[in-house]
Amino acid sequence: MNSQESTLNHPVFYDEPGSRHLASFLGYHVKENEKVFVLVDENTQHHCLPSLLDKLPDNLPISVIEMQSGEKHKTIQTCLHIWEQLNDNLADRNSIIINLGGGVVCDVGGFAASVYKRGIRFIHIPTTLMAMADASIGGKTGVDLHSLKNIVGTFQQPIGVFVYPHFLKTLPDRELYNGFAEMLKHGLLFEYNYFMQLAEAGPENLTTDDIRISVEIKSDIVQKDPKEKGIRKTLNFGHTIGHALESHSLLHDEEPLLHGEAVVLGMMAELLLSEKKHIATQADVDPVLSYLLDYAVLYNITDSCIESIITLISNDKKSFHGAAGFSLFRKPGYILTGIECDTELVRQSLAELKNVLQNNH
């Protein structure tokens, strides 16, 4: 296999009545005496692990590793715990980790696997909408450094992803809206009719086909640009400001914003920034803003919050010499990447977003 083939996208399997995809897959990939580990958090251990065990091949010995849930546990310390558990259980280079959880479990488990003994195989079984439609797809792994998102990570593909939509029934509404944000982004960037269909229907009316469309959109981009050198950068729309806002919230709020909540606000701010940079017209920006406003958390963007966001943007992992390269909106389906923006324009865009949110209280 040449190096280009080795970075190609992974297979994604969808649950269907009577399907035994996972059992067949593991039966093929796990040889005698090879060890299988399942990484869970306290939520997926309770709500999802029993269902997963029913899908595993008979007599497959597994070891369960538990981590704590939430973005604040997306750290090297959590990885140390995972590596110690792997080592104590004599995991070798032929072992497999199944990451059963949301975006944090998939990101942390994938990273821990990608560097343990210089890399062991892993499978994602996403249990949240965020993970099904986005985080489990594409081979990005990582952990946060203090409040800075995904500063330490690797590009490493799972050997497979298994989507079981029935896990969504275990989620609170807030988690559904969290993942819905990335699906809206996929539609806005690559299939505007899909964006409008999603925005008008809402996350309560999602179908497996909707998830499949998002997966296919992201998979297609990753296939073309697995290491984010070109077109994959378009997927960062809303994330330069969104990640900084999420980091600010993690530092200052008792109940921090979820990733998708920050991304919706980030997309709105970057739409306004695109208009101020004369990349987009108001006629193209306003309808999209109106759709996104229906899914926006009415977050209190104070002056100190704005300054905090601007400082955090300079530490964004996509920045170069301290200047962030924004992915900005020109019109539906057309994103320009690597755009540098004056701090004052970013400040003005955030101030305008603050006014938009206040006017809709």
Tens digit of each residue's pLDDT (9 = 90 or more) over 103-160: 999 999 999 999 999 999 999 999 999 999 999 999 999 999 988 889 999 999 999 9
Would the pLDDT of 215 be above 70? yes
Query: Annotated catalytic, 118?
Result: yes
Q: Given pLDDT bands bounded at 50, 70 and 90, which one contains residue 320?
A: low
Tens-place pLDDT, residues 38-78: 999 999 999 999 999 998 887 898 999 999 999 999 999 99
Predicted model pTM? 0.90
Q: Are 234 and 189 in contact (CB under 8 A)?
A: yes
Query: Annotated catalytic, 20?
Result: no
Contacts of 183 by beta carbon, 8 Å cutoff, 6+ apart: 129, 133, 134, 198, 206, 210, 211, 214
Question: Which residue of the set 71, 228, 246, 275 is catalytic?
Answer: 228
Query: Annotated catalytic, 140?
Result: yes
At position 81, the amino acid (one-letter code) is H
Query: Annotated catalytic, 182?
Result: yes
The dihedral over CA atoms of 38, 43, 48, 49, expressed in degrees to the nearest 10, equals 40
State mean pLDDT over 190-212: 95
Question: Which residue of the set 74, 121, 239, 277 is catalytic?
Answer: 239
Query: Annotated catalytic, 259?
Result: yes
Query: Annotated catalytic, 233?
Result: no
Tokens representing 65 are 């590793």
Query: Annotated catalytic, 236?
Result: yes
DSSP state at residue 321 = T
Query: Annotated catalytic, 186?
Result: no
- pLDDT (0 to 100) of residue 360: 84
Question: Which residue of the set 35, 121, 186, 243 is catalytic?
Answer: 243
Would the pLDDT of 318 be above 70? no
Query: Annotated catalytic, 146?
Result: no
Measure the CA–CA gap between 181 and 159, rounded to whole angstroms: 26
Please report, for the chain, the start and end positions of each structural domain, with discontinuous segments joined by +.
3-170, 176-358
Tens-place pLDDT, residues 322-334: 557 899 999 999 9
Question: Which residue of the set 232, 233, 248, 276 is catalytic?
Answer: 232
- pLDDT (0 to 100) of residue 259: 94
Please tell me the class of the 3-170 domain: alpha beta
Question: Which residue of the set 74, 124, 149, 218 is catalytic?
Answer: 218
Dihedral sign, CA of 102, 158, 240, 360? negative
Dihedral sign, CA of 210, 212, 214, 220? negative
Of the options 1.20.59.10, 2.40.50.140, 1.20.1440.230, 1.20.1090.10, the CATH number for the domain spanning 176-358: 1.20.1090.10
Average pLDDT, the chain: 92
Neighbours of 195 (CB within 10 A): 22
Please name which of 89, 106, 96, 121 lies closest in space to residue 37, comparing C-alpha atoms.
96
Question: Which residue of the set 2, 5, 59, 118 is catalytic?
Answer: 118
